[in-house]
Chain A
């Protein structure tokens, strides 16, 4: 598994943009998820006492990734947590649609212990693009901060 992410300087300046890449579609999902996790808090300062399993289905991988990232933003508020890590498993069905089995691990917000970062409001579709590039995949995401 090989995936990367980097935050972008010159896009949507009031918000937070990142680009993630990976050898496979599953890798790029993992890279984008890591970027989102890092945007909210330093994962090294966050424990794993809380976990949530998320199942999703969509017609195409771009919509599936968008929904999955949006789910993490939702759980951040609904459970009052930040995240340490995630596991993502993708599968394509016979009808061509895609399914995701994800698990996310984190803990309740603890100001004194964790290095908290941005309170992400939402995942936007502004300049949102998941594409195959060369031997791998990349995605660009703008988060509303």
Chain B
């Protein structure tokens, strides 16, 4: 097998590969990569360098991990997971990413593909109108600083109080859509200015809103799917992928600068400037954690407001209230986050950057109705090939700090993808595949072509075979909105 690294990579079990600490000076723990051989072979050199750089950070426990959708990021690889001791370990904005609490939300409906298809064009136009996307987009919720501070501390709960959603939505959101410990006084004025007009906006890049279909032959675990409201009789669902927008981006930028200086004070050196970090218990570490929680809560709120707009769009097009259309939230989960979680070693600061929490059955953090099934894990694929719904397992809780993959994972740069196809051409191709695409930026659309991503089925097979999540259903796109 030819890998894009000079380091020795040893197979631990079927889909688990390890790089020993002896392979790079400074590694405190081994690095582990979850992947079937085909996926491991396709991983770029950045993954191996970056996951081993993470293994050098102070206070890291067990392993630095990378999921099969892993690829070259900055600091941590995308798909990276690392847990640090709360007393002796660090927190790093590079382990969270600029888009704090970028995440996925899935909303079910009672509608079938047959019922939606005749209205799909109208539906996508309505969604495109109500959910602003792309550079410079501003949302319909007008906030002043005091209101934005309430969003920072209240997250999705604030939205429900304002009428943007249903109370029962909250139990289907990771942490009920609100992380504790958010402190608006730790957020800069610049972050406020960047985010104050953006609540309810999608962003650009790989963010999207997608109308999808679940057919019965693509439901692989009927019991779990049924427990989550997915019957799969050509059922229409809606997936949202977005995060904390400019607000979170500025929080990350602000604290990377703070941490660069703090590292000198604490005598920490890192192998990549984007791994800038500070002891979790330090003033800088706690300030970032408080600000990051503010950003995470604005992301939960962002997806909640978008959910409201999706429901309004469906109600307008189908002439029925959203409740009558069965538009319940299946789940909402972060994939760019740092959280304090309890494991056999004690309390750890678990960083997931392009990786999803995957709680197994019986976990007390799950809502009662999901406790027998494990947590729904939402994995977005490319806009052409479809997405997956997976279930968290005990294996993930034991082996990967309850973490798994988050999407297909890129294998081609944005610049290269744009050289291979124009946005208009891709839009036309997708139209021929009966997928309606609305995009603000045609060059942005080209960057997201399906061929720029790994085969999501191979990625899903990696985590399914490794036992860190189990596949429940595949979701096929019929309509997509891009920034």
Contact = CB atoms under 8 A, between A and B. Distances in A.
Nearest to A15: B74
Contacts, number: 142
Interface stretch (B5-13, B152-160, B192-200, B344-352): B192-200
Interface in A104-145: 108-109, 111, 115-119, 121-128, 142, 144-145
A144 B190 contact: no
Interface residues of B, number: 53
Nearest to A111: B440
A28 interface: no
Contacts of B250: 74, 77, 122
A125 B273 contact: yes
A13 B414 contact: yes
A78 B195 CA distance: 7
Nearest to A16: B414
A62 to B, nearest CB: 11
Interface in B422-463: 440-444, 447
Contacts of B447: 118
Contact of B413 (A9, A108, A118, A121): A9
Contacts of A17: 413, 415
B46 interface: yes
Interface string B231-264: 0000000000000011001101100100010000
B443 A117 contact: yes
A122 to B, nearest CB: 4
A121 B135 contact: no
B483 interface: yes
B203 interface: yes
Given A121-B98, A122-B253, A126-B272, A13 B410 contact: yes
Contacts of B273: 125-126, 128
B249 A121 contact: yes
Which of B194, B203, B412 has most A Cβ within 10 Å? B194
Interface string B197-236: 1100001111000000000000000000000000000000
Nearest to B416: A9
Nearest to B77: A14
Interface of A: 7-17, 40-41, 70, 73-74, 76-78, 80-82, 108-109, 111, 115-119, 121-128, 142, 144-145
16 contacts: A9-B416, A17-B413, A40-B135, A70-B253, A74-B190, A74-B194, A77-B193, A78-B193, A109-B134, A109-B137, A116-B134, A118-B414, A121-B246, A122-B98, A126-B73, A144-B98
Given A40-B135, A116-B134, A144-B98, 18 more contacts: A9-B413, A9-B416, A9-B419, A11-B413, A15-B74, A70-B253, A74-B194, A76-B136, A80-B138, A108-B136, A115-B442, A116-B135, A118-B135, A121-B205, A121-B249, A122-B250, A126-B74, A142-B74
